[in-house]
Amino acid sequence: MIISSKEAEQRAVAQIADLMCAAARTAPKAKGIDNLVTLIVDGQEKGQLSAEMRRIAQESGTQFFGRDGDCIDKAALVVLLGQKVKPLGVTPCGFCGYADCAECAQGTGICAVSTGDLGIALGSAVNAAALHHADNRVMFSVGKAAINIGLFDKDVKIAYGIPLSISGKSPFFDRG
């Protein structure tokens, strides 16, 4: 049997994405509460994601959304990490800007401890990608677009995307 480099690299990038989701899942969580949601996106959905990023760029004038959309087009796939940002009842805290978790839940606050958990999960995920030499980059813009087009359930309020590539030069480096 002969396996071409393209086929081997496609299989590798899918396996790396799986390992990234596993690493994110096992990352430490405040109070042991797991509100993380992971998705792997390719094909048509990846195209919808980059199209939404370009729409945001056009509508808002924030051009990095369009530039990042180009990166998504060049990526083999995208790992998405989202967080259900429910107040976790950590006291004393107030990092969300409210006096306590009850006030945060009644207002429009986003639990800072919960978003911190997302940051730790992102670090674990990109570490897994780096350990396997896959080009990657954490992008806020991808998460915003994913939420906009409904890739996550409504209870996910914050997300980031990590495009992956296995190529001779990272498409996420010299982005201009």
**Is 173 within a domain?**
no
**80: nearest Cα among 33, 136, 12, 7:** 136
pLDDT of residue 90: 85
* Residue 171 placed within a domain: no
Report how far residue 78's alpha carbon sits from residue 151's, in angstroms, rounded to the nearest whole number. 12
In a domain, 170, yes or no: no
Sequence letter at residue 130: A
Strand partners, 136: 164
What's the gap between Cα 135 and its chain centre? Answer: 15
DSSP string covering 148-160: HTTSS-TTEEEEE
pTM of the model: 0.94
pLDDT, averaged per 10 consecutive residues of the chain (176 residues), comes to: 94 98 96 95 97 98 95 97 89 89 86 93 98 97 98 95 94 74
90 falls within a domain? yes
Q: Is residue 141 part of a domain?
A: yes
- Domain boundaries, position 108: 5-165
- Count: domains in the chain: 1
**What does the alpha-carbon distance between residue 150 and residue 135 come to, in Å, rounded to a whole number?**
26
Contact 42, 73 (CB under 8 A): no
Answer whether residue 117 is part of any domain. Answer: yes
Q: Let me know if residue 145 belongs to a domain.
A: yes
Q: Is residue 122 part of a domain?
A: yes
Residue 82 confidence (pLDDT): 98
pLDDT for position 89 = 85
Identify the CATH number of the domain in which residue 159 sits.
3.40.109.10
Instruction: Return all residues near 90 (Cβ < 8 A) that are at least 6 apart.
Output: 30, 31, 101, 113
